[in-house]
Amino acid sequence: MAKERKEIEINSRADTLPLMGPDVRPWPVTPPPSPEECMKVYEKRKAGEFGKFLEDNLRLEYRFDKPEALQGIRVMAMGKWRMCNKFASGLLSELGAELINVEPPEGDPLRELTPFGREEYMLKDKFGTPCGMDFLHELRNAYSITLDIEKPEGREIYRNLAMQMDILIEEYPPGFMDSLGLGYRHLAKLNPKLIYCWVGERGQWGPMKDEVSKYGQWMLDPFGMCACSWVHNTGFPPDQCPRGGKGGDPMRSGVWLADYVAGEQAANSCLAALYWRDCLGNGLGQFIECTAAETLMDILDFDITWYGFNKSIKARTGAWDPNLNQYEWNPCKDGYMMIGGQTDRLWYRIGMCIERDLPIFGRLIHEDPLLKEMAARNALQALIKTYTVTTKWLRDINRIEAEQKLMEYEIAAGPVLYIDEVAEFPHFKYRPWVNTIEDEQYGTVLYAESTNAYQHRTPARVKWLGRPLGYDNGEIYKRYLGFGPMKLRELKDKGVI
């Protein structure tokens, strides 16, 4: 089939916009592998029957045919700016909880954020209102309502909603809700079953609790990452890249990772509290607090423990891991190639693969008595040596070649992929881990699929993404508080919703 040729002229970014999009260039660009091809993969390891069992029972396509684990649980999310609130409540709503996202009448400012301020990369809903992609992607299966809790009437409405909730996840600055009489101690009196979770960067109490600037600006991620030594630990040493913005500084995660980590632990804490309340028959809710800094600190491997052991302060080690060998990525012909395999079995297999092309690897690495013991291979000098010679091999091949070569030896190896490559990676397309949804409001959107969507009985599901501001005021206020259109009109006029 002959490809259609189009004459195009690009003078500005605006000219590029119509060139992409689900209608012009649908995802995936090339079709995913077929189930038959996968069957061959399963058969190769004599796991055909098992593979078929997985495909028949876990496939993402069947998720809407199955029940929801948290059906009947009501969650209210009350926050702005950050991801933790949205990720926490999103995990629950993907698993079937009903989620009400409360925003002030002017909306969550996250709606307005877009990379480098480029409004052309926001998506418009049917009313023509643009919405930033972070907000859109992270607000999942949520009803959007507006409410001004700084007005007395708004506070009353908030209380009445909270009385009907199982879980309330809130992320306003420390003590703010409490000062309005809407804190845990007030709401728990009205609804003792309420599970109330505060999320934030460093805490709602304590000497380093979250701050608000003199001018009212909130503290956002990466303040959490900075407060727990995560940033200090990440990045290339100045010896490998120069300091001062040239690659050799401590480094934040490119994404608001601490917020995501706080979000998932908030969801876990809420679910554990729910289990205790309902399944163990205690009937009581509780107060929970999850912070970005601390939940991230929980997963800083052994770092703080290490300080207590011999006062070591974890330092950044670039793309090499100081605890395992091999376990790193190094540059190759067309990017970076990650290789992992620490136990003797895997380590020598990696070596055999490299030695086939680069015989000197055997002489320098395999024969070195210092590298023969698994734990000793983690010493700094062992890393320098192993990775220098490994890169000598990598510089001549590109990522795909390296991956194929290492796969022959069944090594866990993979290239550093960019998002366009991720979206087209066969396994990602097959599952699919990036997926499209035809959203009622925003059209076809590519999104990262829920991680809990692959289950036999109660898979998580994404029903919709984002939501126009206050879109569900009518339904939610009627359903929960009995407000009809006249009442809503009145509240709107008063600026309460």
Partner 1 sequence: MEDKDLQKMKVCNFEDLDGPKSKEELEEMKAPFEEYCKKVFDVGNEFVKPDALKGIRWMSTTMYIFTPHSVTNLAELGAECIKVEMPRMGDPMRHTSPFNECYLYPLHDTRPMSGTGLGFVNANSNEYYITLDYHVPESKPVFYNLVKMSDGLTECYRHGTFDRWKQGYRHIMEVNPRFIYVWGGGFGYGPKIFGGSYDILGQAHAGLASVTGTHEDFGGHATKASNWCIDWYSGSQITTAILAALYWRNKTGLGTMIEFSQVQAATRCLGYTVPLYGRFGIVRQRWGNWDTQLCVHGIIMTGKSDYPDEPNPQLKYEARYVMVSAFQDADFKALCDIIKKPDLFSRYKTHKERVGAPAQIEIYKAIEDWAADKSRSEVVRILKTEGLLAAPVMNDKEVYESEHYRLRGTVRWNDDPLFGDVLIQSAYSCGLMSRTPRKHKWLWRPVGADNVKIYHELLGYPMSKIEEFYAKGII
Partner 2 sequence: MCDIIWCKKEKDGKVCDTVNYLDPYCFWNWEGKIACAECGTVYYIHMIQGHMYEGPDEKAGEKPDIYPLYADKPNDGYSNYLPGIEGRTRPYTCLPRHIYLGKADMVKFSARGRPVRGWRPQPPSAGVAGSHGYFWDIEKLSPEVWAEYLERLAKGEVKDW
- Contact call for residue 207 and partner 2 (CB under 8 A): no
| 483 near partner 1, rule: CB under 8 A | no
Q: Which of 63, 82, 202, 385 binds partner 2 (CB under 8 A)?
A: 385
380-394 and 344-357 are packed helices; what angle lies between their axes, rounded to 10 degrees? 40
Among 48, 173, 237, 495, binds partner 2 (CB under 8 A): 237
Segment contacting partner 2 by CB under 8 A, of 73-81, 120-128, 326-334, 433-441: 326-334
Token readout for 90 is: 């999103």
384 touches partner 2 by CB under 8 A:
yes
Query: By C-beta, is 119 or 493 nearer to partner 1?
Result: 119
HSE-up of residue 373 (Cα within 13 Å, Cβ side): 5
Return the residue of 317, 325, 435, 450 that touches partner 2, per CB under 8 A: 317
Instruction: Please say which residue, 53 or 307, places its beta carbon nearer to partner 2.
Output: 307
Please provide the DSSP assignment of 53-105 as one string: HHHHHH-GGGGGGS--TTTT-EEEEE--S-SHHHHHHHHHHHTT-EEEEEE-T
Which range, of 144-152, 300-308, 384-392, 480-488, touches partner 1 by CB under 8 A?
300-308
User: Which of 11, 12, 30, 310 forms a contact with partner 2 (CB under 8 A)?
Assistant: 310
Q: Shortest Cβ distance from residue 156 to partner 1 (Å)?
A: 13
**Closest approach of partner 1 to the CB of residue 376, in Å:** 6
Amino acid, single-letter form, for residue 109: P
Residue 338 lies near partner 2 (rule: CB under 8 A): no
CB 53 within 8 A of CB 66: no
Among positions 50-89, residues that touch partner 1 (CB under 8 A) are 50-51, 53-55, 57-59, 67, 69-70, 83
Q: Which of residues 312-331 bind partner 1 (CB under 8 A)?
A: 312-324, 327-329, 331
Cα–Cα distance, 19 to 269 (Å, whole number): 45
Q: Which residue has the tokens 């929970």?
A: 288
The verdict on 441 binding partner 1 (CB under 8 A) reads no
Q: CA 454 to CA 477: how far, in whole Å? A: 34
Does the footprint of partner 1 cover residue 374 (CB under 8 A)?
A: yes
List 67, 216, 369, 482, residue binding partner 2 (CB under 8 A): 369
Nearest alpha carbon to residue 202 among 296, 293, 88: 293
CA distance 192 to 77: 18
Please state the closest distance from residue 396 (CB atom) to partner 2, in A: 8
Of 128, 132, 127, the C-alpha closest to 117 is 132
For residues 167 and 497, which CB has a smaller minimum distance to partner 1 in the complex?
A: 167
Indicate which single residue of 368, 408, 421, 438 sits in contact with partner 2 (rule: CB under 8 A): 368
By CB under 8 A, the count of residues binding partner 2 is: 42
* Residue 33 per-residue DSSP state: P
Residues 132-161 binding partner 2 (CB under 8 A) are none
Distances in whole angstroms, Cα of residue 280 to Cα of each of 194, 206, 283, 284? 16, 32, 8, 10
Residues 162-201 that bind partner 1 (CB under 8 A): 174-175, 178-179, 183-185, 189-190, 197
Q: What are phi and psi of 328, to 5 degrees?
A: -170, 170
Instruction: Report which of 315, 218, 287, 306 is spatially closest to residue 259, judged by C-alpha positions.
Output: 218
In this complex, which beta carbon is closest to partner 2, that of residue 218 or of residue 236? 236
Query: Residue 304, Cβ neighbours under 10 Å: how many?
Result: 14
3-class secondary-structure state, position 170: strand
Q: Using the rule CB under 8 A, which residue among 160, 217, 388, 404 binds partner 1?
A: 217
370 binds partner 2 (CB under 8 A): yes
Contact status: 324 vs partner 2 (CB under 8 A): no
Q: Which of 137, 405, 478, 492 binds partner 1 (CB under 8 A)?
A: 137
Please give the angle made by the CA atoms of 423, 424 and 428, to the nearest 5 degrees: 65
C-alpha gyration radius of the chain: 26
CA 189 – CA 192 distance, rounded (Å): 6
Is residue 269 within 8 A of residue 197, CB to CB? The reply is: yes
Q: Is 194 left (phi over 0), alpha (psi -120 to 50) or beta?
A: beta
Find the part of the chain contacting partner 2 (CB under 8 A) among 39-47, 238-246, 252-260, 344-352: 238-246
Class of residue 3 by CB neighbours under 10 A (exposed 0-12, middle 13-18, buried 19+): exposed
Using CB under 8 A, which of 124, 156, 255, 490 touches partner 1?
Answer: 255
Judged by CB under 8 A, the residue of 24, 308, 420, 493 near partner 2 is: 308
Selection from 138, 150, 91 nearest residue 110 by Cα:
138
Residue 358 CB, shortest distance to partner 1, in Å, is 22
Residue 376 is a binding residue for partner 2 (CB under 8 A): yes
Q: Is 45 in the site for partner 1 (CB under 8 A)?
A: yes
| Cis omega (within 30 of 0) for bond into 222 | yes
> Contact letters (x/-) for partner 2, 29-68, by CB under 8 A?
----------------------------------------
User: What residues contact residue 372 under an 8 Å CB cut-off, 6+ apart?
Assistant: none
Residue 316 in contact with partner 2, rule: CB under 8 A: yes
The SS3 of residue 144 is strand
Contacts to partner 2 by CB under 8 A: 236-241, 306-319, 330-331, 333, 363-364, 367-370, 376, 379-381, 384-385, 387-389, 391-392, 394-395
